[in-house]
Amino acid sequence: MALKWLARCGWWTRGALARASARLSGRAFDGPGGNLVAQSLAAHGGYPLAATLIGRRISRIAVHPGRQREGIGQQLIAQAHAENCDYLSVSFGYTPELWRFWQRCGFILVRMGNHKEASSGCYTAMALLPLNAAGRRLAEYEHQRLRRDADILARWNGEAIPVEPLKATTLNEDDWQALAGFAFAHRPLLTSLGCMSRLLLTSTLPLPALRGCLQERRSDAELCVTLRLSGRKALLKRQREEAAQALAAVEPSRAEHARNRILQWQFFH
């Protein structure tokens, strides 16, 4: 029977975004459109230039149940390789069995979500298969970031993350840029889970809105009552203010520089 009748693999190829726009999207504001994985890595990860590379996203793959475990899926992934692409990407509801398939195909795990998707009941995982040196740099960089956050994510999700964790307790440059994006712009709180947890370990300030959410796992409604806030918008505003206070307490001049840089981006865009 012909391979095309046994299995299907669909993909989308997305082009590069301008480098300046990618940096802007990656550090503080809304993500670029197009490839979901590139968008996520640029807007929520630590590598905004992910959006300047050319990626091919595997959107679906299926093999006839009677012909699975014969390497047909891996053949389909090999057919998706393209000379003008830097990497292949995939996002999927994480299960150990699904991850083993993508791992056998050569993919590297680069991101794990922190809330379960309603459709699958699983945490969303993202993985990359590098096709050249630029793709390799991206995959390795993002994999290292995931390893830094692995212990924090595992505790938050209540599930092990299938990477070797790094015992990171101090803030690095990526952490500072992500934290500034939350404190001074519009970055969501839970996309900053790893670096925000490290900031809370570093800071001696009370920070009740942040600690109540991330360390005590209290609901937004409960925090609003305790802190006498009018609702979620007011709570988020307080959390951003606390993050700014914590950054200023750690390194005042660095925090001010980060704030001014984001204000300049806002002014010119």
pLDDT digits (tens, 9 = 90+) for 69-109: 778 888 888 888 877 899 999 999 999 999 999 999 999 99
Residue 269 has pLDDT above 60, yes or no: no
Q: Is 243 helix (H, G, I), strand (E, B) or coil?
A: helix
Say what the pLDDT of residue 24 is. 43
CA separation for the pair 60, 50 (Å, rounded) = 22
**Residue of 169, 219, 216, 213 whose CA lies nearest to 194:** 169
Number of H helices, E strands in the chain: 12, 5
CA separation for the pair 90, 83 (Å, rounded) = 18
Query: Would you tell me the crossing angle of helices 232-250 and 173-184 to the nearest 10 degrees?
Result: 140
- Tokens representing 172 are 């690095």
% of the chain beyond a pLDDT of 90: 62
**Residue of 63, 60, 115 whose CA lies nearest to 91:** 60
Confidence of residue 9 (pLDDT cuts 50, 70, 90): low
Say what the pLDDT of residue 27 is. 46
Say what the pLDDT of residue 59 is. 83
**Residue of 166, 108, 97, 158 whose CA lies nearest to 138:** 108
Say what the pTM is.
0.82
Confidence of residue 266 (pLDDT cuts 50, 70, 90): low
Question: Vertex 72, ends 71 and 74: CA angle to 5°?
Answer: 65
89 neighbors 41 (Cβ within 8 angstroms)? no
Say what the pLDDT of residue 16 is. 55
Q: pLDDT higher for 188 or 24? A: 188
Question: Residues with Cβ < 8 Å from 192, sequence gap 6 or more?
Answer: 178, 179, 181, 182
Compute the mean pLDDT over every residue in the chain, rounded to the nearest whole number. Answer: 85
- Tokens representing 267 are 């002014």
SS3 for 66-111 is HHCCCCHHHHHHHHCCCCCCCEEEEEEECCHHHHHHHHHCCCEEEE
**Residue of 267, 261, 252, 253 whose CA lies nearest to 184:** 261
Query: Would you tell me the crossing angle of helices 173-184 and 252-268 to the nearest 10 degrees?
Result: 60
